[in-house]
Amino acid sequence: MTNDSKKKSEMGLLDHLEELRTRLFICISGLVVTTAVSFAFVDFLRSLLTRPAGDMTFIYTRPAEALMANIRVAFIAGVIFAMPLILTQFILFISPALYKNEKKVIIPTVLAMLLFFVLGFSFAYYTVLPFAIRFFIGFASHDLTPMFTISEYLGFATQFLFSFGFVFQMPLVFLFLGKLNIVTPGFLRKNRKYALLIIFVFAAILTPPDVFSQIMMAVPLMFLYELGIMLVVISQRRRKKEDDWK
């Protein structure tokens, strides 16, 4: 390699690092702004997160616990509101390295990921989380009174909600692997029993440490597994038709 080519490669690397630094700065700045704005409306946002618990009253047992809970709520909301900006910066950073056909795929893929995340988050928020809270409160008795601290509840709720948002990506992962011919519908059907075991282990890792929460996540995951198989079937049929036309 000549000195000129070395200088060009070094300049190219430096340019990429500079662009990465700029993109990260924009993302962090956006996150700081959205978190600060969210903190101004933290009471409303906290009420949204605690709504699945019904009319339960929360407590705090440490002097700074309420403040830290508000900061956590503001940060979570800030991340959610900053996500479009973060994803935009990510796409702008990687787009120069993509081919034209890959650029056509990246935006629909990101939008599909966002859609499935919102579906999973919403499903947990409106269905699973309220049911789980009622289930645990049901163990109350004359000598047992449920009293949740705000930090414990927020930790439980956010882990629940975001876990469902992420696991709802499973059909898209299967679709991607199917397009790469890494998995086939036959392979996925044949290995259902192993997938079931992995699903329960995965649910145990992501959910709070109790069997009920694990089951509440594992059941939707089994349906998502079947949806993933359907998407792979549809994708391969479409590819076969395209190959027949060529």
- CA-to-CA distance for 112 and 206, rounded, in angstroms? 22
Reported confidence tier of residue 111, pLDDT bands at 50, 70, 90: confident
Confidence (pLDDT) at 170: 87
Tell me the average pLDDT across 73-92.
Answer: 90
Average pLDDT (192-215) is 78
CA distances from 75 to 17, 56, 119, 205 (A): 27, 23, 21, 24
Question: Band of the pLDDT at 8, cuts 50, 70, 90?
Answer: very low
Q: Kindly indicate the confidence band of residue 245, based on its pLDDT and cuts at 50, 70 and 90.
A: low
pLDDT above 90 covers a percentage of the chain that reads 24
Predicted pLDDT at 190: 86
Residue 10 pLDDT exceeds 50: no
Residues 44-78 as b/e (b if ≥16 CB within 10 A, e otherwise) read ebbeebbebbeeeebeeeeeeebeebbebbbebbb
How large is the average pLDDT for residues 166-186?
82
pLDDT at 2: 53
- The confidence band for 26, taking pLDDT boundaries of 50, 70 and 90, is very high
Please, are residues 156 and 213 in contact by the beta-carbon 8 Å criterion?
A: no
Query: Which range among 16-30, 118-132, 199-213, 221-235 shows the weakest confidence by mean pLDDT?
Result: 199-213
Task: Look at residue 246 in the predicted model and tell me its pLDDT.
Answer: 56
| Average pLDDT rounded to a whole number, residues 62-84 | 92
Mean pLDDT value across residues 169-173:
86
The string of pLDDT tens digits covering residues 142-163 is: 888 888 899 999 988 888 888 8
- Terminal Cα distance for the chain, rounded: 43
Residue 43: the pLDDT is: 93
> What pLDDT, on a 0 to 100 scale, did the predictor assign at position 9?
47
- Cβ neighbours of 217 (radius 10 Å): 24
- What's residue 11's pLDDT? 45
Nearest to 169 by CA among 206, 204, 201, 197: 206
**pLDDT tens digit string along 196-206?**
888 888 777 77
Q: Tell me: pLDDT of 173 over 60.
A: yes
What percent of the chain clears pLDDT 70, i.e. is strictly above it? 90
